[in-house]
Structures are given as structure tokens and as C-alpha cells.
Amino acid sequence: MRLFTPALALIALLALAGCSGAEPAGVASTRDPTTPSPGAAVPPSPTPTAAPTASPTPRPTPSASPIPIYHPAPYKVAIEAGHGGPYWWGSAGRDAGGNQLIEKDLALDVALRLEALLREAGYETLLVRDGDHTLTYFDASDYRGSLVAETQARVDLANGARADIIVSIHFNGSSDASLRGTETYYNPDRPFGLESYNLAYFVQRELIAVLSDLGHDVNDRGVRNDAEVGGDPENAHSFLLGTNGGFRPLQMPGVISEALFLSNADDAARAAAEGTRQRLAEAYRAAIDAYFAWLPSQGVLVPTPTPKPLDCCGFSFW
Ligand SMILES: [Zn+2]
């Protein structure tokens, strides 16, 4: 397989996107001591308080997020197709016929399918990118700076649209072609870490269900703390989901999802099929449905996982 990006670009991409295969074990999470843990971040139940006025409409309980997490439908979903444009391809691989598969293209394809499904279901949507481009001027001679600026533009767009959640759609890659499977990242160290975790839980669950149903040899790599990815030396979290220095962070729960490894022959063959990508979009929609059905209950599905080392690898193709 051909390496598509220079080594420097790969290093920069590791910090930004969240595709796995990035850093070795032991990447320390630099938890901001001022940031409550996910367990402490759950807003109180939206129990109506003694209303000083006669308003018949209960007001949503203020949450720790500037964007209210709890409010009546319709909900707005920001769909972020990972990567884009001439310089930011993401991972790559080949299908069974030797045709090239590029992550930015497959991610956009799934994103467009998901948007159609969500609109059909009554959601409001924001496509963070709707074509093969970036939102900002991309200076290939300053790859990292360009990626930070581009990621900031995407975060700003979602914040400005006051999206309720953001789902970042990726496919994975690694220099180890035997690596394959499905994983979903979230950031526990935000005021809405619990919400992000549960969204990740549902996304991972639905992706695994769909791939199993398709007869794929599924490898469930689980819900993962995005601090595993390794990012900014000052902050292990990804730029997209984190609170890296000087960065205006997302103001809503979000996940980075990696459905399949394009660098693995079996996973790539599956991702190359249009029918698979439609089913993946359906899985994302089912997960989003499940999240918003869960949200009012404010329950905890399962304990938040402890960050654990990656079981791999060298640099990826990002
Ligand atoms: Zn990616």
C-alpha cells in the first residue's frame, strides 16, 4: 500500500482527527482539574421547579453546556465527514479489485446518506462539509497549522448552529494491515462527558449490530477515551472533542466514529460496498435515535470505561 501523506502530516493528523493507531500506550490524560468528571456533570433532572409565573410550558433545566442539552425536539445533529480537500485525505486502502479507497470520500458518502435519513426522521441537520473540500484555506506547507485552523472552523460552525450533538464520521487506517475493527471515541473530561459517552455507546452498539448482520467478521474495539489518541503535548484529547489550549471547544456532546479499517483487506472490502455504507448510515441514525430517547432519562447505561492502551501500532495512514 502506498503512503499518501508525508510523515509530518501523519503526526499532525494524529493530533486532530482521532483515528486510532496513533500513539503507544501510556498517553497521560491531562484532565483539567476545573472540569468536573462525567459522573458529576449530569445536569439535574428537568423536574419542574416552583413556577413563579403561570407559564404552562416547563422550561428546560439549565445544563453545564452553553447549548442546552435538554429541550424539546426537534434536535439538530451536526454531521462531520472527516477530512476533505486535496491535502487531507485521511486513511486509504484498496478494495478487492485493487481500486483505491480514500477515507475522505467514504466518510462524506456515509455523511450524506445519514443526513438524508435524519431529515426523513424529522431532525434538523448540519453537514459540516458537504463536498470534497475544507472550510478554510489549507496551506500544505503548514500542515499542522492548517489542520488546527480547519478543525477550529468546523467546531465554530457546529457551535454557531447550536447543534445538539456532533457525530464525526471516519474510517480507520494503520501501517499494520492486520488491524481491523470498529471503535468510537469520546471525551469524558467535558461537562457533558456522560452524554458523549452514551452517544458513543449507542454508535458503537449499532455499528457492531449492522456489521454483524451483514455477516462481517466483526472486531469490536469498543468505546474509547479520545485521550488514547494522543494529541497536543499539553492535552492528550483530540482537537475536535477536546479543550486544547487556545482552541474554542465544542459546546455539545460528540463522538468520533471509526467504522472500519481501510488499511485492512477484509474491512476495506466491506467499506467499498455501497450497501454497507447505507447500512452504516442507518446504524448512525439508529444510534442518534437511541441517544435522544435515552437523554430524558439521564440514566447511566454502563460504567464509564477506564482509558486503556491501544493494542497497536505504528503510524497510521490518516
Ligand atoms: Zn479519519
Is residue 73 pLDDT above 70, yes or no? yes
CA angle, residues 59, 191, 240, in degrees to nearest 5: 115
State how far the Cα of 144 lies from the Cα of 284, in Å rounded to an integer.
Answer: 29
Of 10-19, 105-114, 195-204, minimum mean pLDDT range: 10-19
Question: Between the CA of residue 264 and those of 20, 64, 93, 102, 150, what are the distances in Å?
Answer: 13, 41, 7, 13, 28
**CA 317 to ligand 1 centroid distance, Å:** 9
Sheet holding 254-261, edge to edge: 124-127, 76-81, 165-172, 254-261, 182-186, 220-225
| Mean pLDDT score of the chain | 78
pLDDT by residue (tens digit) across 35-52?
333 333 333 333 333 333
User: The C-alpha cell of 134 is what?
Assistant: 475544507
pLDDT by residue (tens digit) across 142-181?
998 999 999 999 999 999 999 999 999 999 999 999 999 9
Q: Is 151 within a domain?
A: yes
Q: Is 55 within a domain?
A: no
**CA 183 to ligand 1 centroid distance, Å:** 12
**CA 60 to ligand 1 centroid distance, Å:** 35
Q: What is the mean pLDDT of residues 19-46?
A: 32
Q: Is 162 within a domain?
A: yes
**CA 90 to ligand 1 centroid distance, Å:** 5
**CA 105 to ligand 1 centroid distance, Å:** 11
Distance of CA 240 to the CA centre of its chain: 8
Report helix, strand or coil for 259: strand
pLDDT value, residue 298: 64
Q: Is 208 within a domain?
A: yes
For residue 60, give the DSSP letter: P
Which position has the grid cell 441537520?
Answer: 125
User: Which of these, 254, 86, 111, lies nearest to 171 by C-alpha position?
Assistant: 111
Q: What is the mean pLDDT of residues 111-124?
A: 98
pLDDT value, residue 5: 35
**CA 62 to ligand 1 centroid distance, Å:** 34
H helix and E strand count, the chain? 6, 8
The domain total for the chain is 1
**CA 32 to ligand 1 centroid distance, Å:** 26
User: Which of these, 63, 80, 69, lies nearest to 158 by C-alpha position?
Assistant: 80
Q: Kindly report the pTM of this predicted structure.
A: 0.77
Q: Is 182 within a domain?
A: yes
How much of the chain, in percent, has pLDDT values that exceed 70?
71
Q: What is the mean pLDDT of residues 8-34?
A: 34
**CA 89 to ligand 1 centroid distance, Å:** 8
pLDDT by residue (tens digit) across 294-317?
888 765 454 455 444 444 333 332
Distance of CA 314 to the CA centre of its chain: 22
**CA 173 to ligand 1 centroid distance, Å:** 8
With cut-offs at 50, 70 and 90, classify the pLDDT of residue 9. very low
How much of the chain, in percent, has pLDDT values that exceed 90?
62
Please tell me which residue, 51 or 274, carries the higher pLDDT value: 274
Phi–psi pair at 150, nearest 5 degrees: -65, -45
**CA 20 to ligand 1 centroid distance, Å:** 9
**CA 51 to ligand 1 centroid distance, Å:** 48
pLDDT value, residue 68: 73
**CA 59 to ligand 1 centroid distance, Å:** 39
Phi–psi pair at 237, nearest 5 degrees: -65, 160
Is residue 13 pLDDT above 80, yes or no? no
Is residue 2 pLDDT above 80, yes or no? no
Please tell me which residue, 119 or 64, carries the higher pLDDT value: 119
pLDDT by residue (tens digit) across 175-222?
999 999 999 999 999 989 999 999 999 999 999 999 999 999 999 999
**CA 307 to ligand 1 centroid distance, Å:** 20
**CA 316 to ligand 1 centroid distance, Å:** 10
**CA 18 to ligand 1 centroid distance, Å:** 7
110: left (phi over 0), alpha (psi -120 to 50) or beta: alpha
Of 26-30, 89-93, 131-135, 233-237, minimum mean pLDDT range: 26-30
**CA 141 to ligand 1 centroid distance, Å:** 20
Q: What is the CATH number of the domain that holds 157?
A: 3.40.630.40
State how far the Cα of 97 lies from the Cα of 166, in Å rounded to an integer.
Answer: 34
Q: Is 240 within a domain?
A: yes
Q: Is 317 within a domain?
A: no
Q: Is 1 within a domain?
A: no
Domain extent for 104? 66-297
**CA 57 to ligand 1 centroid distance, Å:** 43
C-beta of residue 77 within 8 angstroms of C-beta of residue 253: no
State how far the Cα of 241 lies from the Cα of 251, in Å rounded to an integer.
Answer: 9
pLDDT value, residue 92: 96
**CA 52 to ligand 1 centroid distance, Å:** 50
pLDDT value, residue 234: 74
**CA 47 to ligand 1 centroid distance, Å:** 40
**CA 17 to ligand 1 centroid distance, Å:** 6
**CA 21 to ligand 1 centroid distance, Å:** 11
Is residue 70 pLDDT above 80, yes or no? no
Please tell me which residue, 245 or 88, carries the higher pLDDT value: 88
Please tell me which residue, 49 or 136, carries the higher pLDDT value: 136
